Structure 1
Amino acid sequence: MTFFCLLFLLIFLSINVANSQWIIKNLPGFNGDLPFTLEIGYIGVGEQDEVQLFYYFIESEGSPKDDPLLLWLTGGPGCSAFSGLVYEVGPLKFNYLNSSGNRPTFELNPYSWTKVANMIFLDQPVGTGFSYATTSEAYNVTDTLAAAQIYVFLKKWFMVHTNFLTNTLYIAGDSYSGIVLPIVVQEISNGNEDGHYPPLNLKGYILGNPVTDLYNDLNSRVPFAYRKALIPRPLYESIKTSCKGKYVYPDPRNTKCVRDMKVFGECTKDLDIAQILEPNCEYEVHPKPKISSLIGFMDPHSSTYKPSKRWCRYDNYVLSYIWANDKTVQKALHIREGTIEEWVRCNISLSYTENVFNSVDYHRNLSNKPYLALIYSGDHDMLIPYVGTNEWIQSLNLIIEDGWRPWFVKGQVAGYTEIHRHDLYYLTFATVKATGHTAPEYKPEQCLAMIDRWLSHYPL
């Protein structure tokens, strides 16, 4: 392809994408003009742009031209970027006291990560949030295909936002993103080395409470429960012996292990495994077993959730359904009419095939690159316990640059941290005290301090 043909193609793509993005000055539920720059839009990926990925882009409240750019991938698979935006690290949060009936209202989040970074919140994979496809076949996605589409999305986004090409880029996300995100980072790294246009100024990646090695993630729940005093020592010792350290899908012929695991379940059944300090919610078993259900993912407005008589964190998520399904809201967001039947916070009916069950090798590959990595875990998360996360980090056999120590916010212990290194690759592991799945939802002030220090290359 000649230079002029390539230039024409880039201009054509830029115009095409530019016609599908809008600056939003105000939102239903927020009083007055937004005090930050919000852009929303669609970017098409696939041979015929048959997959239309929806995104929210929020400029940094600091210095947009100097601050890093974070692409945020919410987990699931199938949880909307809006969930990460309003419940975790974005500049808005629901005002529960002043929201009533079908009129949810927002207030500003003083601990938004947009205080220190520009952020793209992406509805991915297709079928998530407001993202949609123009053909039924295009809804069939795998882990590796989802990662490839995210990379294409980024390249097209930068073609329109060329003023951000020099900003340092980090790929960030949590939960199930622990599978897809390292693949995305590998795709970008390979693309840069192969001279793909545009070159992306990739600096590293950020993962919170990540699914990584599914079997060992789940297997670590038993030692985690013992460390947190959820089960007595005699039971723990009996389980270790009878199950021989393998607690997931025990052999039904091993009656002692099966019996011990049943007792384990009785000890923990009244806890919310996403945050062991909170009560469990009532669930029904979903008929379609997937990784998301295996790790304990449930959500209101799905067939798996029954409202509880006592407060449950999942009750907070109801406001997002009311707000995002309001036709006035969808008009304000320029949602294309007829592209989705109903917005759901987490879509468990995706036509999605999990084809990567362990992403540790991607981390191992990336540890040979000059990247920075931040892996953090809520230390009261039994969904994806920090115990398993710490184990796979140790398996990378990196040099310990800074040993295990507490980190502080306002003079109080906010968690513990350790820095690992291999040549120019640095991996920071951090726990966040008394937080669940995922950490910023429970301790936003501490998590903002963590990301601010880390992005500034300052020790936690």
Structure 2
Amino acid sequence: MESTSAKLLLFLFILSHYYLQATSSRVLSISPIPNEALPTRSGYLQVNSTTKSAMFYTFYEAKEPNSSLSETPILIWLQGGPGCSSMLGNFYELGPWRVVSSQGHNVEHLKLEPNSGSWNRLFGLVFIDNPIGTGFSVATTTEEIPRDQHAVGKHLFKAIKAFVALDSLFKTRPIFVTGESYAGKYVPAIGYYILKRNARLPKGNQVNLAGVAIGNGLTDPITQVATHAMSAYFSGLINEKQKTRLEEAQDKAIGLIKVGNWSGATNARTKVLNLLQNMTGLATLYDFRRLVAYEDYLVEDYLSSMEVKKALGANASIAFEVCSDKVGDILHEDVMKSVKYMVEFLVKHTKVLLYQGQFDLRDGVVSTEAWMKKMKWDGIEKFLEADRKVWKVKEKLAGYVQIWGSLSHAIVSNAGHLVPTDQAVNSQVMIEDWVLDRGLFANKEIVDPSAPSYDSK
């Protein structure tokens, strides 16, 4: 035993640039983070001064800001789940560097490569592991982990305030909160919380919220759960008999929501999705074109490296998981509760972007359009009457955009649930144009309504 350990230590010393991890079926070689890939800042943002519970974050400053840093927007990214780490977004979707895998000599090599579609080209970009207990974030006690979106908003508000306090230049920069999937609830929750708190705070203590963006979000479950059968049927994935069976399962979930049986409703939705999965035989409902599921496990493998954890400033004792079952279980009863009213409040006071990958069967285009039509907002009729325009990037079809006033809706072509993973550059163009009010994403009042499309160069 001692001899084997000595050999292993010697081997690790010789290969100082690699961290080896063995499993029953895979042998991994994990390269350290290159200096140029390190975050500008990273660490912990305290949300409870008594217990020391804190959220882990990584911040990447804008690479090519087109204004002074004091005016350069900051994007905050929140992952979904519930309980999934925003390091997935960082190292697999929209961060400046992505984990990639290659094979050699029976060893799988993991390393970082630059992402040409990173969202920090023009803007500062913050990834926050939310809620506490997720990813590298610390929940000192299980009882502190949020069980509803009000608690989520309260913790995120403290974390954002703590982040802004790190640098005097942060206070004046516009903040846009973004996220995907279950963050279709987190993003409205923190946006709503910020606006409500700002109304009671002096100007100097307010959070400078400038807008929110939700990708493939679960926002109004009672409406969205009713769309799976129709979406799959008209995509040619199930027949009419299967559609009827799926609709019956959906109706059970809706009935449980109506009587406030939240845990039962969540379980019923899971049955709907499992039934759809079994009917279609797809590799993943997150993108019905894929022959294999998204490889998000690469991020978990990469962040298991002690050297990588230390380089990021994360608590090295935490066994990193892409998604926490514990946090998911705690938020189980929250899953089917709607935050549509929060989006309705936000669209009246700031700008909102809703976007979906074209081929997502879980939280895709049909499910989002269904709840958008039910929004209680004075502008919804004009939005629904607005033209849906062809959106091009470098003369190639990128998707479709519909906008009126403060609400924008984008469908991203050739993408599934993880839009930035599937369409890195196009997602970058989308977020940049929306934040900067350019092209099809400019306010309708200043856009030529006769223009058939916008070609982003």
The answer, yes or no, to whether TM exceeds 0.5 is yes
Q: Which residue of 2 aligns with 1:336?
A: 315
Give the AA of the match of 1:45.
V
* Distance in 2 of aligned mates of 1:266 and 1:175: 22
Equivalent residue number for residue 339 of structure 2:
359
Residue from 277, 280, 291 that aligns with 2:289 = 277
Say whether the 8 Å CA contact 2:216–2:417 is kept in structure 1. Answer: yes
> Structure 2 counterpart of 1:349, which letter?
K
Residue ranges of structure 2 left out of the alignment (5+ in a row): 1-18, 20-29, 257-271, 441-457
Amino acid of the residue matched to residue 351 of structure 2? Answer: L
Q: Quote how far apart the aligned CAs of 1:236 are.
A: 7.3
| 2:89 equivalent in structure 1 | 84
Distance 1:361 1:159 in 2: 30
Tell me the equivalent position of 1:221. Answer: 228
Pairwise mapping of residues 197-236 of structure 1 onto structure 2 (< 5 A)? 198-232=205-239, 234-235=240-241
Displacement after TM superposition at 1:33 (Å) = 2.8
Q: Distance in 1 between matches of 2:121 and 2:334?
A: 36
Q: CA deviation at 1:355?
A: 3.5
Residue 326 of structure 2: which of 349, 352, 365 is its match?
A: 349
Distance 1:34 1:138 in 2: 36
Tell me which residue corresponds to 2:302. Answer: 323
Aligned to 2:354: 375
Give the letter for the 1:412 counterpart.
Answer: K
Quick one: percent identity of the two aligned structures? 25
Corresponding residue SS for 1:272: coil
1:44-67 CA deviation, whole Å, 9 max, x = no partner?
112515311110011011124432
Structure 1: runs of 5+ lacking an equivalent: 1-26, 252-259, 280-311
CA distance in 2, matches of 1:349, 1:195: 35
Cα deviation, residue 164, structure 1: 1.5
1:123-177 superposed Cα distances (whole Å, 9 cap, x missing partner): 1111111111233432454332121100111112112222121111111111001
- For residues 11-30 of structure 1, give each alpha carbon's deviation from its aligned partner in whole angstroms, at most 9, with x where no partner exists: xxxxxxxxxxxxxxxx9836
Q: Is the 8 A contact 1:50 1:135 kept in 2?
A: no
Instruction: After TM superposition, list the pairs within 5 Å mapping 1:48-87 onto structure 2.
Output: 48-63=50-65, 64-87=69-92
Alpha-carbon offset, residue 416 of structure 1: 1.4
SS state at 2:223 partner: helix
CA contact 1:30–1:107 (8 Å) conserved in 2: no
CA distance in 1, matches of 2:47, 2:278: 47
Q: Residues 167 and 201 of structure 1 are in contact (CA less than 8 Å); yes or no, is this contact kept in structure 2?
A: yes
Provide the secondary structure at the position in 2 that maps to 1:153.
helix
How far 1:79 sits from its partner (Å)?
0.9
Alignment partner of 1:440: what SS? helix
Q: Aligned pair 1:413/2:418, yes or no?
A: no
SS at 1:54's partner residue?
Answer: strand
Matched residue SS, 1:222 = helix
Q: With structure 1 as the length reference, what TM-score do the two structures score?
A: 0.76
Q: How many residues align?
A: 384
Q: How many angstroms apart in 2 are the aligned matches of 1:187 and 1:143?
A: 10
Could you say if the C-alpha distance between residues 66 and 191 of structure 1 is closer, same or farther in structure 2, counting changes exceeding 3 Å? same
Q: In the aligned structure 2, how far is the partner of 1:134 from the partner of 1:70?
A: 28
How much does 1:434 deviate? 2.2
Taking a change above 3 Å as real, the CA distance of residues 174 and 268 of structure 1, as seen in their structure-2 partners, is same
Equivalent-residue separation in structure 2 for 1:177 and 1:184 (angstroms): 10
RMSD of equivalent CA atoms:
2.9
Q: Report how far residue 31 of structure 1 moved.
A: 7.1
**1:97: Cα distance to partner?**
2.9
The alignment status of 1:94 with 2:125, answered yes or no, reads no
- Spell out, residue by residue over 1:246-289, the C-alpha distance to the aligned partner (whole angstroms, 9 max, x if none): 374799xxxxxxxx99996654133421100013xxxxxxxxxx
- Partners of 2:364 and 2:399 in 1: CA distance: 14
Conserved 8 A contact 1:147-1:183: yes
Distance 1:164 1:213 in 2: 33
AA of the residue aligned to 1:352? I
